[in-house]
Amino acid sequence: MEENQVRSDGPIRLLSRRVTISQLADSLSVSKGTVSKALNGYSDVSGRTKARVAEAARKMGYRPLSHAQAIRTGRSRSIGLVIQADEYDGYNLFLRDFLAGISQSTSEMGWTLTVASSNSYQDFQQVVCRMVEQRKVDGFILPRILVHDPRYALLKRMEIPSVLFGRLWESEDDLIADSEAICYDIDGELAFAEAVLRMQKHGHTRIGFVGAPSEYTYAHIRRNGYIFGMEKAGLEIDDKLIVSDIRTRKNGAQATQWLLETEEPPTAIIFATDEIAMGAYTVASQFNLSLGHDLSISAYDGAAWGRIMSPALTSYQVDMGKAGRRLSSLLIGHIEGKKLDDQEEIAPAKFIRGGTDGPPALSSYELGRKFRRSVNGNGSQLVRQIGERQ
């Protein structure tokens, strides 16, 4: 169900008297009709006049009344974002920067952002239909793209403009080629391939992977990056060193322990997200392992709190503010009918050097032996605490 809505025009300002279209017209010594036509892009107004009106409107802080503009143009000049209220994998930690980026861009373009929440796909349907019927939004940003994403399919059927933060996925191996889909994504595949090659350069040959929930397309993209990196490095891909569908740091601790319990444990582990990589810190502390020395790890997201961990987490950073700004710009352009040179934009992730990766101090055999000794030495407290594999 829809829990709340927030409309944002950027930073809060002290209220002042609204500049009217009459005042704008008087300042330019032209008629209100000319100003209206210029602002709405009518072809019978010269480009020079349009530029003069636009510049004057910017300087005077003129903003058209949204309800009047909606009646005149059929647009609300607002874009929508429906947030999944029950996300448990750390995504909500990044919402502030993401929303700030969207709000900044929409405000600069004279648009607003309408935010709502839902707990299920059924809720999403109801929220979208209500927002569209009430003419509150002209299109939607879809974050966290799902495999066979029903949200995109719904908006496509309803002919509602949308842009995707992520890419469409058909199966474990195939991205969907949809000529109508407009996508902005971060190159997770390249980042994870680079992470593997970085570990190999340190001297690691047994490299594990802990993946994200498989309902999301990014989980498959990042896993494919790991596989590609292993192949490029000429290293054996051992299915026993790949754990999938991990969501929380508690699950991340479980996954780390399962990998260390294998007959030939990895000396390096690459985690799909910073959130689940936090579980490795728990295991390292519990069993007297030194991260970056006994066990190397790296992750993805570049969360600020990863840099204050001890040691700081090696990761790849996603600029969520930039993503929000670009997505809103793409969506508004799409709504206004602007043609794109490319329907799909892929931006690079930024490498964040930490202290959790380095040359292996122990062989796989020595690491396994040290881990088992530590388990026997302090009992199976963590084993009982984190329970069975989910």
Please give the mean pLDDT across all residues of the chain. 86
Query: Could you tell me the pTM of the whole model?
Result: 0.79
Structural domain count of the chain: 3
Eight-class DSSP state of 183: E
The continuous run of DSSP H or E covering 157 comes out as: helix 150-157
Claim to verify: residue 94 and residue 125 sit in the same structural domain: yes
pLDDT confidence of residue 264 = 96
The band of 155, judged by pLDDT with boundaries at 50, 70 and 90, is: very high
Claim to verify: residue 179 and residue 328 sit in the same structural domain: yes
Q: What is the mean pLDDT of residues 288-317?
A: 95
Per DSSP bridges, beta strands 344-347 and 183-186 are parallel
The band of 178, judged by pLDDT with boundaries at 50, 70 and 90, is: low
The band of 174, judged by pLDDT with boundaries at 50, 70 and 90, is: low
The reply to whether 378 falls in a domain is: yes
Give 218-229 pLDDT, tens digit per residue. 999 999 999 999
Claim to verify: residue 327 and residue 314 sit in the same structural domain: no
Give 133-148 pLDDT, tens digit per residue. 888 999 999 999 998 8
Q: What is the mean pLDDT of residues 110-124?
A: 90
| DSSP secondary structure of 45-60 | S-HHHHHHHHHHHHHH
Q: What is the mean pLDDT of residues 270-299?
A: 96
The reply to whether 16 falls in a domain is: no
Would you say residue 160 has pLDDT above 50?
Answer: yes
The reply to whether 337 falls in a domain is: yes
Give 29-42 pLDDT, tens digit per residue. 988 888 877 877 77
Claim to verify: residue 365 and residue 269 sit in the same structural domain: yes
Residue 307 domain boundaries: 188-319+351-386
The reply to whether 292 falls in a domain is: yes
C-beta of residue 140 within 8 angstroms of C-beta of residue 327: no
Claim to verify: residue 144 and residue 155 sit in the same structural domain: yes
Which residues are within 8 A (CB) of 193 and not within 5 positions of it... i.e. 6 or more apart? 225, 226, 228, 229, 232
C-beta of residue 127 within 8 angstroms of C-beta of residue 105: no
> What stretches of 30-124 adopt beta strand conformation (E)?
78-84, 112-118
pLDDT confidence of residue 170 = 60
Claim to verify: residue 192 and residue 254 sit in the same structural domain: yes
Eight-class DSSP state of 146: B
The continuous run of DSSP H or E covering 96 comes out as: helix 95-108
The band of 25, judged by pLDDT with boundaries at 50, 70 and 90, is: confident
Claim to verify: residue 251 and residue 330 sit in the same structural domain: no
What's the CATH number where 147 sits?
3.40.50.2300
Claim to verify: residue 42 and residue 131 sit in the same structural domain: no
The reply to whether 83 falls in a domain is: yes
> What stretches of the chain adopt beta strand conformation (E)?
6-8, 78-84, 112-118, 139-142, 162-165, 183-186, 207-210, 242-243, 268-271, 296-298, 315-317, 344-347, 350-352
Claim to verify: residue 26 and residue 167 sit in the same structural domain: no
Would you say residue 173 has pLDDT above 90?
Answer: no
